[in-house]
Chains A and B, each alone.
Chain A
Amino acid sequence: MSASNPATGTPLTDAPATGTPVTKAPPTAARSRRSGGTAVKYAVLSLGAVAFLFPFYYMIVGSLRKTTTGDLSSAVPSGLTGGSYTAVNGAISLGRSLLNSGIMTIGVLLCTLVFGVLAGYALAQLHFRGRGTVFASLLLVQMVPFQLLTLPLYVLVVRDYGLGDNYIGMILPFAINSTAVFLFRQFFLQLPQSLFEAARLDGAGELRILWKVALPMARPAVLTAMLLTFIGPWNEFLWPFLVTKDADMQPLAVSLASFLSNLQGTVANPTGALLAGACVLAAPAVALFLLFQRHFTSTDIDSATKG
């Protein structure tokens, strides 16, 4: 729960669970009451898990069935085939879409990693005029709903800069993730000050200190920030939808949405194909999440509740 969580990567919620408060009743009564409470707990949690997971299960089964209908037997995996994946690939060229999603996401990750780390380090360790203003802007920016800036950004990027159907135009609004900058700053702030002072006395430049001293220790913070940054551009729909008209430039979220609204008639099992596309779109984020789950949960919360 301490602010040092992002630093150590210790998952918040794996901290020793606080036992349920037990009233001071006779032991047997307390025990039976507690086990009753536990049963209710498991029932509630399992019900929740079913509600969360069923659509995912249905998505996978639906994408693999030969004919995908809405009747009750459709939830049973039988007669499985990969045909829907071939179909959706034919309709929206999955490879190209995935490539576009990948380029957009990697562009954002790189910019955030390079410029975000620099900014986070400066905000944490260096004194310069306007530091307070920059930090205040960083906090303010996270309150501004991005969608509200969409229209003027669209006019600027597509009309004035001529960056429609261009990767730079797709990346630009997300280029440096402010939450990541915030995380970097928090992390560099927690490193012992003496470390930096010693390096400075040795005459090391700030870039060298950042590269040789601060960054090697910052691996957990970097990992967390990268995971957080990844899901934004990968899942984003509105912005790439606006700036890409050329199907060859559209990331998967956009091409899948256009398949959802007007291309479904072109394949034999449209629902199956749609769900197959949804699986492909969901898979990378889900895989990354499951791999790095601990980092994901702990810091996300820490940054939201505490900073």
Chain B
Amino acid sequence: MTNLRPTATATATATAGAAPGVRPQGEGAATRHGRARSRTGALFVTPYVLFLLVVFAVPMVYTLWISVHRFYFTAPGTDIDSPWVGLSNYRDVFTDPVVGRAFLNIAVFLVINVPLTVILALVLASALNAKIRFRAFFRAAYYLPYITASVALVAVWQFLFGTDGFVNNLLGAHAPDPSWLVNSHLAMPMIAVFVTWKQLGFFVMLYLAALQNVGKELYEAASVDGAGRVRQFFAVTVPGVRPATTLVLIYAIITGANLFSEPYLLTGGGGPDHASTSPVLLMYQKGIEQGHPDFAAALGVVLVGFVLLISLAARKISERGN
């Protein structure tokens, strides 16, 4: 989410650079005040820095440590040796077929979620980007799933797409068998569709903001050149909102890597034959349910590496177009 914030960072540097120059005081007073403010600044930011250390830095180092040791959960206070095992946890991760399946499931998720999100969000945003009645209503309607708890929405979807659910009753003889959420071919696509639906409102708003940045004169120039509406859409709008599209891609990768509640709740613990198992769900099952936190830690490290690599590649690809 953050790599598209060049403006913010630029402003920050500019302000920081300009401040000392405009100080109206004498040199000595300024330094004295500066030093006091420097102490205050460090003091103000200390709780946040401690928070980052405890919640991010320490766990990250700890995962690395656990991943190269044989590690057991113990009751608080008991001490059990955690012998060094080198890369054997990583070997277990790479040879486990369910791990492969979980990563494949993320790929399925991305292949469905990204295009669907980009197309639907762009279409809805384009339609909203005009003088329209009930604009506030539409906007609120699209945003609603985004702010609602996954657990509540999963409850409704499970019921809507259940074997005797509303959707199957609507489809009658055309209903899939086995039903959506317990069908090994449909479980993961259903999760991708659910997540697309839940998050679409956010991306509609994102594209709406991006659309307002696309210069009107570009459309005028295109229409002078004889481009119709459709041509204009592909020649002007689509390239104009490219930064937002990159964001969709990166956000989808992060969401895909983080999937837990949906496979766990919507498809009842990862679907039939791990059809919708996600890496994080696997981390939970292996690490906490089955008591192999070392395996789970190694899987976590692999997942982080995977996310960073794919995000980097995604950025490279989408920036090449500019």
A and B bound?
A: yes
A residues adjacent to B (C-beta < 8 A) = 1, 3, 12-15, 17-24, 37-38, 40-42, 44-45, 48-49, 51-53, 55-56, 58-59, 62, 68-72, 74-75, 115-116, 118-119, 121-123, 126-131, 134-135, 137-156, 159-160, 162, 172-173, 175-176, 181, 186, 189, 193, 197, 200, 205-207, 231, 234-235, 237-238, 242, 253, 256-257, 260-261, 271, 274-275, 277-279, 281-282, 285-286, 289-290, 293, 296-297, 300-302, 304-307
Q: In the bound complex, do residue A15 and residue B5 qualify as a contact, i.e. CB atoms below 8 Å apart?
A: no
Size category of the B interface is: 35 or more
**Minimum CB–CB distance for B312 against chain A, Å:** 11
Q: What are the interface flags for B147-179 relative to A under an 8 Å C-beta threshold, 1 for contact and 0 otherwise?
A: 111111111111110101110111000000000
Q: Which of A58, A148, A155, A305 contacts B303 (CB 8 A)?
A: A148
Q: In the bound complex, do residue B155 and residue A256 qualify as a contact, i.e. CB atoms below 8 Å apart?
A: yes
The docked-state distance in angstroms from the alpha carbon of A306 to that of B125 is 18
Write 24 A-B pairs (CB below 8 A) sorted by A numbering: A17-B131, A17-B135, A44-B124, A59-B156, A62-B156, A118-B48, A122-B40, A127-B41, A141-B56, A143-B2, A147-B280, A151-B63, A152-B300, A155-B73, A235-B151, A238-B261, A285-B148, A286-B148, A289-B144, A293-B140, A293-B143, A301-B206, A302-B209, A305-B4
**Minimum CB–CB distance for B2 against chain A, Å:** 4
| B7 contacts partner chain A, Cβ-Cβ < 8 Å | yes
B residues less than 8 Å from A144 (CB atoms): 56, 60, 304
| B45 contacts partner chain A, Cβ-Cβ < 8 Å | yes
The docked-state distance in angstroms from the alpha carbon of A289 to that of B293 is 39
B residues less than 8 Å from A261 (CB atoms): 265, 268
Are A62 and B159 also in contact (CB < 8 A) when A45-B138, A148-B304 are?
Answer: yes
B residues adjacent to A (C-beta < 8 A) = 1-5, 7-9, 11-12, 15-16, 19, 22-24, 33-34, 37-42, 44-45, 47-49, 51-52, 54-56, 58-60, 62-63, 66, 73-76, 120, 123-124, 127-132, 135-145, 147-160, 162, 164-166, 168-170, 197, 200-202, 205-206, 208-213, 216, 219-220, 223-224, 228-229, 232, 243-244, 247, 254, 257-258, 260-261, 265, 268, 280, 283-284, 287-288, 293, 296-297, 300, 303-304, 307, 311
The docked-state distance in angstroms from the alpha carbon of A144 to that of B41 is 26
The chain A residue with its CB closest to the CB of B158 is A260
Q: Which of B63, B168, B206, B216 contacts A21 (CB 8 A)?
A: B216
The docked-state distance in angstroms from the alpha carbon of A200 to that of B22 is 14
The docked-state distance in angstroms from the alpha carbon of A74 to that of B143 is 26
A residues less than 8 Å from B24 (CB atoms): 197
Query: Inter-chain contact count A-B, CB under 8 Å?
Result: 362
Q: Which of B1, B11, B48, B137 contacts A176 (CB 8 A)?
A: B48
Q: In the bound complex, do residue B41 and residue A145 qualify as a contact, i.e. CB atoms below 8 Å apart?
A: no
Are A147 and B127 also in contact (CB < 8 A) when A18-B216, A134-B48, A172-B55 are?
Answer: no
Q: In the bound complex, do residue B288 and residue A154 qualify as a contact, i.e. CB atoms below 8 Å apart?
A: yes
Q: In the bound complex, do residue B205 and residue A13 qualify as a contact, i.e. CB atoms below 8 Å apart?
A: yes
The chain A residue with its CB closest to the CB of B159 is A271
Q: Which of B59, B169, B261 contacts A156 (CB 8 A)?
A: B59
